Amino acid sequence: MEERLQKILAQAGVCSRRAAEELIRQGHVQVDGQTVSEMGIKVNPLAHKITVKGIPLSSPEKKITVLLNKPMGYVTTMNDPQGRPIVSSLIKGIGQRLFPVGRLDLDTEGALLMTNDGELAQKLLHPKFEINKTYQVTIRGEILPQTVQALERGIDLDGRRTWPSRITIQDKSNKTSTLLITIHEGRKRQVRLMFSAVGHPVLHLKRLAYGNLQLGNLALGSFRLLSPRDLARLFE
């Protein structure tokens, strides 16, 4: 049965469908020895030889998703030209290649999903599902109630207003404040930019939850396999 090439790559666990489109666009995908660079082409994976960067595409794998407690200093890419540690090096004993769902900054730690299920990754990243992400953030200075209210309503960042958020103050002094913030947008470095915009640079940032899936007491640098019930909780 023929399927769109980017969907086949995602189902085989190569990467998300969006990332697969970029691989095709850059000329890294070949079908029967011929480079494919146009979107929308349909292929039968049982009848055609598909390679990605010269590596033959394997058969669709068992779908696996894990929750990783990412340490600071690791990048959420599959390789890094600068030689920095990559998150996939922390996933041991799975026997399958997992890729990160979305990103978590180099200097941010906490909950990161990794999977070989391209369809799931696409769904999680789609704006219409509005998957909440909850962070614990420590900022410089004592934050005022009116500043919290402004952040919750939404502020202008680079000409675009942020969506409403939920913020709870956990602790504050005249030097620092610690808060919980829940957002569902995925702009790059959004939490850091939001607090910097109101005069409170971020000192430490950790993602505690992805949807209703909590990081809990998972040790830093460790991961756990997610059950079908865990995956369902992401969309509750």
Global confidence as pTM: 0.74
The verdict on 111 and 206 lying in the same domain is no
What's the mean pLDDT in 95-119? 90
Last residue of a domain, one of 13, 34, 56: 56
Are 218 and 224 contacting, i.e. CB atoms less than 8 angstroms apart? yes
Count of domains in the chain?
3
Shared domain for 157 and 42, answered yes or no, is no
| CATH label of the domain that carries residue 157 | 3.30.70.1560
Residues assigned a catalytic role: 105
Same domain, 123 and 174: no
**Domain co-membership, 150 together with 206:** yes
Q: Closest by alpha carbon to 209, among 132, 116, 117, 106?
A: 132
CA nearest neighbour of 41 among 20, 55, 56, 59: 20
Domain around 42: 3-56
Q: Are residues 91 and 74 in the same domain?
A: yes
- Mean pLDDT, the chain, rounded, equals 89
144 and 189 in a single domain? The answer is yes
Q: Give the integer Cα–Cα distance in Å for 38 and 86.
A: 30
143 shares a domain with 201: yes
CATH number for the domain that contains residue 11:
3.10.290.10
CATH number for 74 = 3.30.70.580
Q: Are 100 and 206 contained in the same domain? A: no
3-state secondary structure of 124: helix
Task: Classify strands 109-115 and 202-210 as parallel, antiparallel or unpaired.
Answer: parallel
pLDDT tens per residue, range 50-98: 888 888 876 556 789 999 999 999 999 888 888 899 999 999 888 788 8
Say yes or no to pLDDT of 189 above 70. Answer: yes
